[in-house]
Amino acid sequence: MIPLLDLKAQYASIKDEVDAAVLRVLASAQYVLGDEVAAFEEEFADYCGARHAIAVNTGTSALHLALLAAGIGPGDEVITVPFTFVATVSAICYTGARPVFVDVEPVTLTMDPTQLEAAITSRTKAIVPVHLYGQMAEMDDIMAVASRHGLPVIEDACQAHGAEHRHRRAGSIGISGCFSFYPGKNLGACGEGGAVVTSDDAHARTIRMLRDWGQQQRYHHLLKGFNYRMDGIQGAILRVKLRYLEAWTAARRAHAARYSALLAHSAAVKPPMEVAHRRHVYHVYAVKCRDREEIRSALQAEGIQSGLHYPIPVHLQEAHADLGYRAGDFPVSEAAARSMLSLPIYPEMSARDVEQVAAALEQDAYVG
């Protein structure tokens, strides 16, 4: 079996360091926030090229607090994309604002900047591009539109730890960037976790209060806040894993390059494209298929797992029917939802595994 990802292999490779970090927190009894979380915040901010990182309990919480700190509330509109995990849109809804969608580019499947101007109204208060699969959106064009209209850009970088756009790290270009540390992410905790990075001192101060019941000091609640704090154990584990992130990214990129070379002339699938001025970190290696279900079944028969990211775009999800969108509104997103298939990719997989997956795809090249 070749799994879609192998978290047991990652743990085995750093077991002694992770175990020691967990025991250190247990001995300190700093179970919520504490020294380990504070140290991780400093190290992650430095890694991202931002002045601040505020650790929270999930990536969804990170998005929610970043939006609140930008002043988003009921009656506002926030522009994002429908081809994303539902959390991007849920976080906007939590603020009382209305999500407004623009379609994605057909090549990178990230926000299409050419559609932004037409979506902006007097109620638009922010833009949330999603760095899907580990490749950043076209930030130069998005920031140019945002600047013309005086709108903040909040980067959904939940899949893009260490991704770069013209040598600037994900999360460091907009007013803030939001990360998830869900276990399967490129930098994953052993549970839930998230963070907002920002170089805006006021935003950082507001987000720190909001994550901890709105208090700046104990029992002095200046804002109506939330219990979105990160556990001490997750902070300690993330400090260990952050030291390996660049090596793991290099491994992912090597596997992706090998896949792309082997599948360059495939009749069954089309490999993803990495834009020249962006560093793709391949949280997901998704290929475009002409007949996805037959290919997926054929891989499964040979013991190869695959995944779907994401089979139903958010504008067609029942939970968001109230937004009033219909099938056909975003044709690129809808086509991607029907055709994209995620292949196994994780740092610990071998070159032989990559070749076996590619060979299985080519063996079934007659499909479609």
pLDDT, tens digit, 9 for 90 and up, residues 249-266: 999 999 999 999 999 999
pLDDT value, residue 290: 87
**Hey, how many other C-beta atoms are within 10 angstroms of the C-beta on 166?**
11
Return d(Cα 64, Cα 224) in angstroms, integer. 13
Return d(Cα 72, Cα 65) in angstroms, integer. 10
**305 falls in which pLDDT band (50, 70, 90)?**
very high
State pLDDT tens for residues 180-229.
999 999 999 999 999 999 999 999 999 999 999 999 899 999 999 999 99
Question: Average pLDDT over the chain, rounded to whole?
Answer: 97
pLDDT value, residue 364: 57
Beta bridge partners of 304: 2
**What residue has token string 């079996």?**
1
Closest CA to 79 of 71, 87, 88: 88
Determine contact, residues 313/334, Cβ cutoff 8 Å: yes
Q: What are phi and psi of 237, to 5 degrees?
A: -65, -40
Average pLDDT over residues 315-343: 98
Average pLDDT over residues 320-332: 98
Query: Is pLDDT above 90 for 289?
Result: yes
Hey, what are 218's tokens? 């104990």
End-to-end CA gap in the chain: 25
Percent of the chain with pLDDT over 90: 97
pLDDT value, residue 366: 45
Hey, what are 241's tokens? 């894993």
Return d(Cα 156, Cα 309) in angstroms, integer. 16
Q: What are phi and psi of 51, to 5 degrees?
A: -80, -30
C-alpha dihedral over 337, 175, 198, 172, to 10 degrees? Answer: 60
Cβ-proximal residues to 249 (8 Å cutoff; 6+ apart), any chain:
161, 162, 186, 281
Cβ-proximal residues to 100 (8 Å cutoff; 6+ apart), any chain:
77, 78, 79, 80, 119, 121, 124
Residue type for position 110: T
Say how far residue 306 (Cα) sits from the centre of its chain: 19
**What residue has token string 């309990």?**
57
pLDDT value, residue 106: 97
Q: How far is CA 362 from CA 14, 294, 343, 365, in A?
A: 35, 13, 14, 5
pLDDT value, residue 365: 52
pLDDT value, residue 347: 98
Q: What 3 state SS string does the chain have?
A: CECCCCHHHHHHHCHHHHHHHHHHHHHHCCCECHHHHHHHHHHHHHHHCCCEEEEECCHHHHHHHHHHHCCCCCCCEEEECCCCCCHHHHHHHHCCCEEEECCECCCCCCECHHHHHHHCCCCEEEECCECHHHCCCCHHHHHHHHHHHCCCEEEECCCCCCCEECCEECCCCCCEEEEECCCCCCCCCCCCCEEEEECCHHHHHHHHHHHECCEEECCEECCCCCECECEHHHHHHHHHHHCCHHHHHHHHHHHHHHHHHHCCCCCCEECCCCCCCEECCCCCEEEEECCHHHHHHHHHHCCECCECCCCCCHHHCHHHHHHCCCCCCCHHHHHHHHHEEEECCCCCCCHHHHHHHHHHHHHCCCCC
Give the pairing type, strands 154-156 and 98-101. unpaired
Give the pairing type, strands 176-180 and 194-198. antiparallel
Hey, what are 194's tokens? 């998230």
